[in-house]
């Protein structure tokens, strides 16, 4: 099968980008149907950055600078947050397009080049998160940006060039992709960088490694000019801090089920059998690299909320492009080309639901009826064009553990289990967590702390209350708290929700707070929260 015509492929990819973004921008705002808490997280970080703060240096986050900087740039130019998010999606697509174009154009036959190129751009620009019954959301956009670039990089690593090899260009493209991934989400960089080096070494393309490293150093140098050299130390510190936290070491299934549980086993089997068939047909390098990609793909899936195995999309393209020549047989007498073609078709069948789910995000968003929505944060003009479903925003539901001593079903409690409750100022806090209505709960909490005469530390996973109170964020506090008390030294009060967005995060925060050299004096209480004034040793 012949290569794609370069000019037609470029025009096609540009048309896909316009199709993916046009309906979303024409809607005149962003209308969310799920993950409002994540939208508040995005809003919190973007507004901090638009005000001049930098991630890692001014607040803790495991996510890279480029996860939010494109949005913050547009906000800084006076655009509303909703439009800034959509423009950042467009910018991400425009930056990724030439990289995707090179990878699919030099590695894939024309049909696969068109299909995978379109799939990568649709994933990057989607307004959905790829789960069953996909909602419209801006949550976890950085995961989609990473997946789209990972699709392109996997082709460059696994497959040899269809035409004349250009290792230096490949090194430059892969170096740029890896640099972008390092500054979006480190997970993708960590799994890809070793495979890139292995691939170039196996093909004897050491000059490609040199170019790749030089490209990375240039990007690192440019970033350092804007952030300062301590940025990288702070970034690594944040990654280590979050990875060692007990609150959320991984956001879904453990690693082993990502490989062998029913939703993933077929994809794993296809990849392993495909790799072995390629090696038996003489494509030993491609087969080995594909085999090495199986745990790499699984690790990215393991680290992403929802655990969607989007890697079946490039898997189908890799198998299609690597099919052996007709007539080649395995030692068992199988037609290798036919067997690999069958595996490619199976992988494509697994990939179709993912592409459909993500690719239809913009159209799904465009067809939403805005009458059932309200602004996420109506009193904050910069955020007024991000909307959420009114019913979801204001229907607050909570869940609590009732199998504990003194509650509804104490006789069912395990006497061997450590039932010591988490306490604050010596008082036990109930195991209660919000399940819906995060936006409504946040509005009530923000109103309750608005009259306090000093900065407030929120003992919960979210601390975006400042967006509603027209105040500054607590210096040093984490927009998404994984169980630490960063920022407590600049706070005058601690606000402890009775029902937290994340009870696990709140409890970890309270355990750390109990060991801090502070004294807490209760100054307010209601069924929703307890507020404490902080007294430090030097204050007395």
* 490-503 pLDDT tens trace: 999 999 998 999 88
User: Token pair for residue 168?
Assistant: 């230096």
- The whole-number pLDDT of residue 113 equals 95
Q: Return the exposure string of 365-398: e unless at least 16 CB atoms fall within 10 Å of the residue's CB, then b.
A: bbebeeeebbbbbeebebbbbbbbbeebbeebeb
pLDDT surpassing 90 at residue 106: yes
pLDDT surpassing 70 at residue 332: no
Angle at 85 between CA 362 and CA 357, to 5 degrees: 30
CA 118/CA 350 separation, integer angstroms: 17
| Spatial CA neighbour of 188 closest among 174, 198, 201 | 174
Following CA atoms 419, 421, 426, 429 in sequence, which dihedral angle do they give, to the nearest 10 degrees? Answer: -160
- Per-residue pLDDT of 464-481, as tens digits, reads 889 888 788 999 889 999
pLDDT surpassing 80 at residue 357: yes
Bridging pattern class, strands 432-436 and 397-400: antiparallel
- The whole-number pLDDT of residue 306 equals 81
User: Token pair for residue 205?
Assistant: 């393309």
Sign of the CA dihedral running 396, 397, 402, 403: negative
Classified as helix, coil or strand, 481 is coil
Bridging pattern class, strands 456-458 and 493-497: parallel
CA dist 479 to 58, 182, 251, Å? 11, 20, 17
CA 16/CA 268 separation, integer angstroms: 30
User: Token pair for residue 184?
Assistant: 């979006």
Do the Cβ atoms of 495 and 469 come closer than 8 Å?
A: no
- Per-residue pLDDT of 18-62, as tens digits, reads 999 888 888 888 999 888 889 999 999 999 999 999 999 999 999
CB atoms within 10 A of CB 280: 19
Do the Cβ atoms of 139 and 130 come closer than 8 Å?
A: no
Q: Does an H or E element contain 340, and which?
A: helix 336-359
Helices H, strands E: what count in the chain?
A: 20, 11
CA 474/CA 478 separation, integer angstroms: 9
Q: What is the pLDDT averaged over residues 168-188?
A: 96
Give the N- to C-terminal CA distance of the chain in Å, as an integer.
80
- Residue labelled with tokens 């936006």: 439
- The whole-number pLDDT of residue 419 equals 54
pTM for this predicted structure? 0.93
pLDDT surpassing 90 at residue 405: no
CA 123/CA 130 separation, integer angstroms: 9
């Amino acid at each position: 099968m012949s290569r794609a015509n370069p000019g037609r492929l470029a025009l096609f990819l540009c048309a896909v980008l316009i199709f993916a973004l046009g309906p979303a921008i024409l809607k005149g705002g962003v209308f969310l149907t799920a993950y409002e808490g994540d939208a508040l997280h995005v809003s919190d970080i973007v507004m901090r950055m638009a005000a001049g703060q930098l991630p890692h240096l001014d607040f803790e986050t495991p996510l890279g600078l480029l996860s939010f900087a494109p949005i913050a740039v547009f906000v800084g130019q006076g655009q509303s947050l909703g439009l800034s998010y959509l423009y950042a999606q467009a910018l991400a697509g425009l930056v990724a397009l030439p990289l995707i174009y090179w990878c699919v154009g030099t590695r894939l036959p024309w049909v696969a080049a068109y299909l995978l190129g379109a799939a990568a751009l649709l994933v990057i620009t989607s307004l959905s998160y790829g789960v069953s019954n996909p909602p419209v959301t801006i949550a976890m956009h950085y995961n989609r940006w990473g997946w789209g670039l990972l699709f392109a990089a996997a082709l460059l690593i696994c497959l040899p060039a269809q035409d004349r090899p250009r290792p230096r260009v490949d090194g430059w493209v892969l170096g740029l992709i890896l640099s972008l991934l390092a500054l979006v989400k480190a997970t993708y960089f960590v799994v890809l960088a070793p495979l890139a080096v292995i691939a170039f070494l196996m093909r004897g393309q050491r000059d490609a490694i040199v170019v790749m490293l030089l490209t990375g150093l240039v990007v690192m140098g440019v970033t350092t000019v804007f952030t300062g050299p301590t940025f990288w130390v702070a970034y690594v510190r944040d990654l280590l801090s979050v990875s060692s936290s007990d609150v959320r070491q991984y956001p879904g299934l453990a690693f082993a089920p990502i490989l062998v549980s029913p939703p993933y086993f077929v994809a794993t089997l296809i990849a392993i059998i495909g790799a072995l068939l390629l090696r038996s047909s003489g494509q030993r390098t491609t087969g080995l690299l594909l085999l090495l990609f199986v745990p790499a793909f699984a690790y990215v899936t393991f680290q992403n909320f929802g655990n969607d195995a989007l890697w079946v999309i490039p898997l189908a393209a890799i198998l299609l492009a690597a099919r052996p020549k007709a007539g080649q047989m395995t030692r068992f007498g199988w037609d290798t080309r036919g067997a690999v073609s069958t595996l490619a078709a199976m992988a494509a069948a697994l990939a179709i639901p993912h592409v459909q789910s993500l690719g239809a995000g913009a159209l799904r968003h465009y067809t939403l009826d805005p009458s059932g929505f309200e602004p996420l944060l109506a009193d904050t003009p910069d955020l007024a064009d991000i909307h959420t479903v009114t019913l979801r925003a204001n229907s607050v539901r909570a869940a609590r553990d009732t199998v504990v001593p003194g509650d509804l079903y104490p006789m069912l409690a395990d006497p061997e289990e450590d039932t010591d409750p988490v306490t604050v100022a010596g008082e036990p806090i109930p195991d209660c967590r919000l399940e819906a209505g995060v936006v409504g709960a946040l509005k009530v909490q923000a109103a309750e702390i608005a009259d306090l005469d000093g900065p407030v530390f929120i003992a919960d996973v979210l601390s975006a209350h400042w967006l509603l109170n027209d105040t500054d964020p607590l210096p040093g506090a984490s927009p998404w708290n994984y169980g630490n008390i960063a920022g407590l030294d600049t706070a005058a009060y601690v606000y402890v929700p009775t029902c937290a967005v994340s009870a696990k995060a709140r409890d970890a925060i309270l355990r750390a707070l109990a060991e801090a050299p502070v004294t807490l004096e209760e100054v307010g209480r209601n069924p929703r929260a307890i507020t404490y004034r902080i007294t430090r040793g030097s204050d007395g």
